[in-house]
Amino acid sequence: MTNLPLIQKLIHFVQPVFAGLEHWVGDWGLAVILFTVLVRICLIPVSVRQSDLAASQFIFSRKAAELQKSWTGTAEALAEEMAKLMRQQKFNPLALFMNAIIQSPILITVYTIFSQLGPAAHSILVPWVSSIGVPDPSAMIPVAVALTSGLTTMVTLIPGEFMQTGSVKFSFVLITGISLLILWTAPVATALYYGTSSVWGALERKILSRRVRRRILEQLGPEANGEASP
Protein backbone atom coordinates (compact mmCIF):
# COMPACT_ATOMS: atom_id res chain seq x y z
CA MET A 1 0.00 0.00 0.00
CA THR A 2 2.91 2.36 0.72
CA ASN A 3 4.06 1.94 -2.89
CA LEU A 4 0.89 3.52 -4.28
CA PRO A 5 1.63 6.67 -6.33
CA LEU A 6 -0.60 8.82 -4.08
CA ILE A 7 1.21 7.69 -0.92
CA GLN A 8 4.61 8.26 -2.53
CA LYS A 9 3.59 11.80 -3.53
CA LEU A 10 2.32 12.49 -0.02
CA ILE A 11 5.54 11.18 1.53
CA HIS A 12 7.57 13.41 -0.80
CA PHE A 13 5.47 16.42 0.26
CA VAL A 14 5.04 15.67 3.97
CA GLN A 15 8.61 14.63 4.90
CA PRO A 16 10.00 18.19 4.61
CA VAL A 17 7.02 19.48 6.60
CA PHE A 18 7.79 17.11 9.46
CA ALA A 19 11.50 17.96 9.28
CA GLY A 20 10.68 21.68 9.43
CA LEU A 21 8.28 21.28 12.35
CA GLU A 22 10.76 19.11 14.28
CA HIS A 23 13.51 21.67 13.67
CA TRP A 24 11.18 24.41 14.95
CA VAL A 25 9.90 22.70 18.13
CA GLY A 26 12.82 20.32 18.71
CA ASP A 27 10.65 17.25 19.31
CA TRP A 28 9.21 14.70 16.88
CA GLY A 29 6.12 14.07 19.01
CA LEU A 30 5.22 17.76 19.15
CA ALA A 31 5.86 17.93 15.40
CA VAL A 32 3.27 15.18 14.83
CA ILE A 33 0.69 17.00 16.98
CA LEU A 34 1.28 20.31 15.17
CA PHE A 35 1.07 18.55 11.81
CA THR A 36 -2.24 16.98 12.82
CA VAL A 37 -3.64 20.37 13.85
CA LEU A 38 -2.58 21.84 10.50
CA VAL A 39 -4.31 18.98 8.64
CA ARG A 40 -7.50 19.38 10.67
CA ILE A 41 -7.55 23.15 10.10
CA CYS A 42 -7.33 22.52 6.34
CA LEU A 43 -10.23 20.04 6.65
CA ILE A 44 -12.59 22.43 8.47
CA PRO A 45 -14.62 23.12 5.27
CA VAL A 46 -15.04 19.35 4.83
CA SER A 47 -16.20 19.02 8.44
CA VAL A 48 -18.75 21.81 7.99
CA ARG A 49 -20.04 20.10 4.85
CA GLN A 50 -20.28 16.82 6.74
CA SER A 51 -22.36 18.49 9.44
CA ASP A 52 -24.82 19.64 6.77
CA LEU A 53 -24.94 16.12 5.33
CA ALA A 54 -25.50 14.63 8.79
CA ALA A 55 -28.50 16.92 9.25
CA SER A 56 -29.79 15.95 5.79
CA GLN A 57 -29.42 12.25 6.61
CA PHE A 58 -31.34 12.64 9.87
CA ILE A 59 -34.11 14.68 8.24
CA PHE A 60 -34.34 12.17 5.38
CA SER A 61 -34.59 9.20 7.77
CA ARG A 62 -37.38 10.83 9.79
CA LYS A 63 -39.34 11.95 6.74
CA ALA A 64 -38.86 8.56 5.06
CA ALA A 65 -40.17 6.79 8.19
CA GLU A 66 -43.22 9.06 8.27
CA LEU A 67 -43.85 8.51 4.56
CA GLN A 68 -43.66 4.71 4.89
CA LYS A 69 -45.99 4.78 7.89
CA SER A 70 -48.68 6.86 6.16
CA TRP A 71 -48.32 5.52 2.59
CA THR A 72 -51.37 3.84 1.07
CA GLY A 73 -50.30 3.60 -2.58
CA THR A 74 -48.27 1.02 -4.48
CA ALA A 75 -44.73 -0.04 -3.61
CA GLU A 76 -43.47 1.36 -6.95
CA ALA A 77 -44.97 4.77 -6.22
CA LEU A 78 -43.48 4.70 -2.71
CA ALA A 79 -40.03 3.98 -4.18
CA GLU A 80 -40.42 6.99 -6.49
CA GLU A 81 -41.42 9.23 -3.57
CA MET A 82 -38.45 8.00 -1.53
CA ALA A 83 -36.09 8.77 -4.41
CA LYS A 84 -37.62 12.24 -4.72
CA LEU A 85 -37.18 12.80 -0.98
CA MET A 86 -33.55 11.68 -1.22
CA ARG A 87 -32.91 14.21 -4.01
CA GLN A 88 -34.61 16.98 -2.03
CA GLN A 89 -32.39 16.36 0.98
CA LYS A 90 -29.29 15.85 -1.22
CA PHE A 91 -28.69 12.66 0.75
CA ASN A 92 -25.41 10.91 -0.08
CA PRO A 93 -24.35 8.32 2.53
CA LEU A 94 -20.77 8.04 1.23
CA ALA A 95 -20.18 11.79 1.62
CA LEU A 96 -20.58 11.42 5.39
CA PHE A 97 -17.23 9.58 5.47
CA MET A 98 -15.33 12.17 3.42
CA ASN A 99 -13.19 13.32 6.35
CA ALA A 100 -12.08 9.76 7.14
CA ILE A 101 -11.50 9.00 3.45
CA ILE A 102 -9.25 12.05 3.07
CA GLN A 103 -7.30 11.30 6.25
CA SER A 104 -6.68 7.62 5.49
CA PRO A 105 -3.80 8.21 3.04
CA ILE A 106 -2.37 10.84 5.41
CA LEU A 107 -2.39 8.30 8.25
CA ILE A 108 -0.61 5.78 6.01
CA THR A 109 1.92 8.47 5.12
CA VAL A 110 2.63 9.21 8.79
CA TYR A 111 2.99 5.47 9.43
CA THR A 112 5.46 5.10 6.54
CA ILE A 113 7.58 8.16 7.33
CA PHE A 114 8.06 7.23 10.98
CA SER A 115 8.61 3.56 10.23
CA GLN A 116 11.50 4.73 8.05
CA LEU A 117 12.81 7.04 10.80
CA GLY A 118 12.66 4.15 13.26
CA PRO A 119 14.74 4.72 16.42
CA ALA A 120 15.80 8.22 15.30
CA ALA A 121 12.46 9.90 16.14
CA HIS A 122 12.82 10.81 19.82
CA SER A 123 10.14 12.58 21.87
CA ILE A 124 9.76 13.69 25.48
CA LEU A 125 6.00 13.11 25.21
CA VAL A 126 6.42 9.34 25.65
CA PRO A 127 9.59 8.93 27.77
CA TRP A 128 9.08 5.18 28.27
CA VAL A 129 9.43 4.60 24.49
CA SER A 130 12.86 4.96 22.90
CA SER A 131 11.41 6.46 19.71
CA ILE A 132 7.98 7.29 18.29
CA GLY A 133 9.17 5.62 15.10
CA VAL A 134 8.65 2.21 16.71
CA PRO A 135 5.62 0.55 18.38
CA ASP A 136 5.06 0.97 22.12
CA PRO A 137 6.25 -2.35 23.66
CA SER A 138 4.00 -1.79 26.69
CA ALA A 139 0.93 -1.25 24.44
CA MET A 140 -0.10 1.66 26.70
CA ILE A 141 -0.28 4.16 23.84
CA PRO A 142 -2.44 2.12 21.41
CA VAL A 143 -4.84 1.11 24.21
CA ALA A 144 -5.13 4.67 25.58
CA VAL A 145 -5.62 6.20 22.14
CA ALA A 146 -8.12 3.53 21.10
CA LEU A 147 -10.21 4.11 24.24
CA THR A 148 -9.99 7.88 23.76
CA SER A 149 -11.09 7.55 20.14
CA GLY A 150 -13.99 5.36 21.25
CA LEU A 151 -15.04 7.87 23.90
CA THR A 152 -14.94 10.76 21.41
CA THR A 153 -17.63 9.02 19.33
CA MET A 154 -20.05 9.87 22.14
CA VAL A 155 -19.77 13.47 20.95
CA THR A 156 -22.01 13.32 17.88
CA LEU A 157 -23.03 15.78 15.20
CA ILE A 158 -26.65 14.84 15.82
CA PRO A 159 -27.53 16.26 19.27
CA GLY A 160 -28.16 13.68 21.99
CA GLU A 161 -31.82 14.63 22.32
CA PHE A 162 -32.40 13.12 18.85
CA MET A 163 -30.14 10.08 19.26
CA GLN A 164 -30.79 6.57 20.51
CA THR A 165 -28.44 5.54 23.34
CA GLY A 166 -27.80 2.11 21.85
CA SER A 167 -26.30 3.51 18.65
CA VAL A 168 -23.78 5.60 20.63
CA LYS A 169 -22.67 2.57 22.69
CA PHE A 170 -22.26 0.53 19.50
CA SER A 171 -20.10 3.29 17.98
CA PHE A 172 -17.86 3.27 21.06
CA VAL A 173 -17.25 -0.48 20.85
CA LEU A 174 -16.78 -0.43 17.07
CA ILE A 175 -14.36 2.52 16.94
CA THR A 176 -12.35 1.29 19.94
CA GLY A 177 -11.93 -2.11 18.30
CA ILE A 178 -10.98 -0.70 14.89
CA SER A 179 -8.54 1.75 16.49
CA LEU A 180 -6.80 -1.03 18.41
CA LEU A 181 -6.50 -3.05 15.22
CA ILE A 182 -4.90 -0.10 13.38
CA LEU A 183 -2.57 1.05 16.15
CA TRP A 184 -1.48 -2.16 17.90
CA THR A 185 1.73 -2.66 15.89
CA ALA A 186 2.02 0.85 14.42
CA PRO A 187 4.72 3.37 15.35
CA VAL A 188 3.77 5.58 18.29
CA ALA A 189 3.74 8.57 15.92
CA THR A 190 0.74 7.03 14.14
CA ALA A 191 -1.13 6.85 17.44
CA LEU A 192 -0.24 10.48 18.22
CA TYR A 193 -1.70 11.58 14.90
CA TYR A 194 -4.74 9.34 15.32
CA GLY A 195 -5.45 10.44 18.89
CA THR A 196 -4.94 14.15 18.25
CA SER A 197 -7.23 13.98 15.24
CA SER A 198 -9.90 12.14 17.28
CA VAL A 199 -9.88 14.76 20.05
CA TRP A 200 -9.98 17.59 17.48
CA GLY A 201 -12.89 15.87 15.76
CA ALA A 202 -14.84 15.63 19.02
CA LEU A 203 -14.37 19.35 19.74
CA GLU A 204 -15.37 20.15 16.17
CA ARG A 205 -18.53 18.03 16.39
CA LYS A 206 -19.46 19.66 19.71
CA ILE A 207 -19.37 23.08 18.03
CA LEU A 208 -21.03 22.01 14.77
CA SER A 209 -23.82 20.09 16.55
CA ARG A 210 -25.47 23.45 17.28
CA ARG A 211 -25.63 24.14 13.56
CA VAL A 212 -27.06 20.65 12.95
CA ARG A 213 -29.67 21.03 15.72
CA ARG A 214 -30.84 24.36 14.29
CA ARG A 215 -31.28 22.89 10.82
CA ILE A 216 -33.15 19.81 12.11
CA LEU A 217 -35.58 21.94 14.10
CA GLU A 218 -36.13 24.24 11.11
CA GLN A 219 -37.08 21.24 8.96
CA LEU A 220 -38.91 18.99 11.43
CA GLY A 221 -39.99 21.25 14.27
CA PRO A 222 -40.15 20.30 17.98
CA GLU A 223 -41.37 16.79 17.12
CA ALA A 224 -37.91 15.98 15.69
CA ASN A 225 -36.98 14.12 18.88
CA GLY A 226 -40.27 12.32 19.15
CA GLU A 227 -38.81 8.94 18.14
CA ALA A 228 -35.69 9.11 20.26
CA SER A 229 -35.62 6.67 23.10
CA PRO A 230 -33.30 6.25 26.11
Is residue 225 very low, low, confident or very high in pLDDT (cuts 50, 70, 90)?
Answer: low
What is the residue extent of each domain of the chain? 5-225
Residue pLDDT, tens place only, 98-150: 888 899 999 999 999 999 999 999 999 999 999 999 999 999 999 999 999 99
SS3 assignment for 58-109: HHHHHHHHHHHHHCCCCHHHHHHHHHHHHHHHCCCHHHHHHHHHHHHHHHHH
How many Å apart are CA 73 and CA 130, to the nearest integer? 68
Is residue 65 very low, low, confident or very high in pLDDT (cuts 50, 70, 90)?
Answer: confident
Q: What pLDDT does residue 66 have?
A: 82
- Supply the pTM of this predicted model: 0.86
In 3D space, the residue among 220, 226, 150 whose CA is nearest the CA of residue 182 turns out to be: 150
Of 52-56, 119-123, 162-166, 174-178, which gets the smallest average pLDDT?
Answer: 162-166
